[in-house]
């Protein structure tokens, strides 16, 4: 969705082909040969610039470049001026939001610093955004269908789940949302440990 690319990474004289992922606060590179992935947190990036289709990074560990083509300038801008988590999730001051499941205090503080119409524990009439936190397939199956039924019009459902856990995978979340008659339209790195997938009612069914 614009934040993933097959590319060549260069560190010194070494080149490696693979897939790069631009997350909320880091770049992840997965080599095509199956060797260990590389994480580059934004906080370790000292400078970034885009030139002739390449993203050049100077990090605390040395210089790294990614051959991204036309996406290089876009990635550079996101690294230099990253959106906040709230902006990426589409939360606005006038939004009505419901939280279902367990969310950390930091996220709730970020929400309350932006808007005031928040319902905790259940969805409310007139919601613009519903956030559903799940940690297992069992929890997903018990809550996703109910949450989907509370959507109307352009209301969006964000399902937040742990990264890299066997107990629940991206495919599990996609399947649950689609079974509920919803369309997945966006994925966001919710935190270093969690991912968020956005679902909406297809336009033709609103």
The CATH architecture assigned to 4-82 reads: Roll (2.30)
Q: Can you count the helices (H) and strands (E) in the chain?
A: 5, 13
Report yes or no: 25 and 188 within 8 Å, Cβ to Cβ. Answer: no
pLDDT band at 1 (very low <50, low <70, confident <90, very high): very low
pTM: 0.73
Q: Is the pLDDT of residue 184 over 50?
A: yes
pLDDT band at 123 (very low <50, low <70, confident <90, very high): confident
Give me the CATH code for the 86-205 domain, please.
3.40.50.150
CA gap 96, 117 in Å, rounded: 5
**Which pair of tokens denotes residue 92?**
């606005």
Hey, where are the domains in the chain? 4-82, 86-205
For residue 149, which of 185, 125, 117 has the smallest C-alpha distance? 125
């Amino acid at each position: 969705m614009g934040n993933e690319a097959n590319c060549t990474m260069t560190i010194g004289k070494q080149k490696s082909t693979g897939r790069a992922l631009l997350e909320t606060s880091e770049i992840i590179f997965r080599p095509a040969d199956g060797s260990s992935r590389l994480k580059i947190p934004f906080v370790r990036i000292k400078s970034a610039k885009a030139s002739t289709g390449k993203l050049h990074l100077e990090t605390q560990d040395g210089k790294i470049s990614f051959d991204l083509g036309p996406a290089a300038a876009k990635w550079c801008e996101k690294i230099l001026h990253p959106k906040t988590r709230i902006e990426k999730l589409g939360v606005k001051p006038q939004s009505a939001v419901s939280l279902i499941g367990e969310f950390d205090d930091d996220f709730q503080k970020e929400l309350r610093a932006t808007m005031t119409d928040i319902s905790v524990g259940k969805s409310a009439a007139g919601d613009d955004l519903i956030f559903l936190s799940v940690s297992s397939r069992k929890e997903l199956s018990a809550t996703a269908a109910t949450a989907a039924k509370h959507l109307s019009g352009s209301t969006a459902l964000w399902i937040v789940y742990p990264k890299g856990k066997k107990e629940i995978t991206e495919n599990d979340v996609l399947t649950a949302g689609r079974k509920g008659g919803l369309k997945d339209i966006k994925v966001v790195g919710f935190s270093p440990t969690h991912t968020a997938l956005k679902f909406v009612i297809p336009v033709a069914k609103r």
